[in-house]
């Protein structure tokens, strides 16, 4: 579904970056080429999370996103509590599987408790702390596959860099405590190039000084303080295909934190 959406949003691609649970397979895949060994497969997800920049594109372009998704691709607005349309989320059923496309954006200087940021009448985006890092200098990854309507398609897709991805997943783990958030961030730390040190060394000093980055480090220190803390445990109970997963998760995070010192 990523390629189906990407192929239809040509006018807007420069303002979109893939984040969320689908990103690790493309972040790490870049490092699965010589001289780095191929990593184990990431479990992935059928859902697509796209970070969107709200400061550079025209309103007309934003309006075209909604019309393309709904009128051309057959997506429907998601439904919130009470059956109200969700302007940040779109759903399309492929067979019996619902595919969810969410738009996320940076926090801005509005009300502290505001979750949504309106783009235009029919499109909003969820405000996510730390997302500004993901929008900076994304990876350019060539992705190729079959479209749902048939035919092979390939494109260069903007993908979140590993450092900002770890920040986003650490903050998500703190906020909602999902096992997959722990698994995703550890997968990237362990399998990007030569491991946690490779992720750390690519994070520039100005990003390390960001409030969201420092908050993410605090989360990692607290949630991965020992093998018995919930970060490694959540990672281990989510994914059992690797031996000693909880121990490996703990080691990966500690190596990352040490590499930043």
pLDDT above 60: residue 127: yes
pLDDT band at 114 (very low <50, low <70, confident <90, very high): very low
pLDDT above 70: residue 196: yes
**Range from 34-48, 222-236, 241-255 that averages highest in pLDDT:** 222-236
* Least-confidence region, from 32-41, 135-144, 165-174, 240-249: 32-41
* Least-confidence region, from 15-19, 126-130, 177-181: 126-130
CB 157 within 8 A of CB 247: no
Return the closest-CA partner of residue 74 out of 14, 3, 4: 4
Handedness of CA 31, 32, 38, 42 (dihedral sign): positive
Question: What are the structure tokens assigned to 25, written together?
Answer: 């397979």
pLDDT above 80: residue 84: no
pLDDT (0 to 100) of residue 111:
46
| Whole-number Å distance between alpha carbons of 169 and 160 | 12
pLDDT above 80: residue 61: no
pLDDT (0 to 100) of residue 85:
66
**Burial of 161 by CB count in 10 Å (0-12 exposed, 13-18 middle, 19+ buried)?**
buried
pLDDT (0 to 100) of residue 118:
61
| Whole-number Å distance between alpha carbons of 51 and 134 | 8
* Least-confidence region, from 13-27, 38-52, 115-129, 162-176: 115-129
Percent of the chain whose pLDDT exceeds 70: 82
| Whole-number Å distance between alpha carbons of 54 and 106 | 8
Q: How far is CA 102 from CA 88, 153, 181, in A?
A: 6, 22, 16
pLDDT (0 to 100) of residue 65:
81
pLDDT (0 to 100) of residue 115:
58
Instruction: Return mean pLDDT, the chain.
Output: 86
pLDDT above 80: residue 63: no
65 vs 143 pLDDT, higher one: 143
pLDDT band at 36 (very low <50, low <70, confident <90, very high): low
Helix-helix angle 179-191:230-238, to 10 degrees: 90
54 vs 15 pLDDT, higher one: 15
Handedness of CA 59, 149, 41, 223 (dihedral sign): positive
**Range from 14-18, 38-42, 84-88, 119-123 that averages highest in pLDDT:** 14-18
């Amino acid at each position: 579904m990523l390629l189906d959406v990407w192929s239809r949003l040509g006018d807007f691609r420069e303002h979109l970056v893939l984040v969320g649970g689908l990103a690790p397979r493309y972040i790490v895949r870049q490092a699965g080429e010589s001289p780095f060994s191929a990593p184990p497969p990431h479990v992935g997800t059928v859902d697509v999370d796209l970070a969107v920049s709200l400061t550079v594109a025209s309103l007309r372009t934003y309006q075209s996103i909604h019309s393309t998704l709904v009128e051309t691709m057959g997506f429907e607005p998601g439904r919130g509590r009470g059956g109200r349309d969700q302007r940040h989320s779109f759903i399309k059923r492929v067979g019996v599987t619902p595919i969810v496309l969410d738009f996320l954006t940076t926090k801005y200087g509005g009300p502290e408790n505001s979750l949504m940021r309106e783009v235009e009448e029919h499109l909003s985006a969820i405000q996510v702390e730390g997302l500004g890092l993901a929008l900076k200098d994304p990876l350019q990854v060539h992705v190729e596959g079959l479209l749902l309507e048939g035919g092979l398609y390939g494109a260069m897709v903007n993908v979140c860099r590993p450092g900002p991805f770890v920040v986003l997943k650490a903050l998500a783990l703190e906020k909602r405590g999902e096992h997959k958030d722990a698994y995703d961030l550890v997968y990237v730390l362990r399998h990007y190039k030569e491991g946690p040190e490779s992720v750390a060394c690519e994070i520039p000093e100005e990003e390390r000084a960001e409030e969201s980055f420092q908050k993410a480090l605090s989360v990692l220190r607290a949630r991965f303080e020992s093998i018995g803390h919930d970060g490694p445990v959540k990672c281990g109970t989510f994914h059992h295909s690797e031996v000693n997963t909880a121990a490996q998760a703990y080691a990966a995070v500690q190596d990352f934190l040490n590499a930043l010192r």
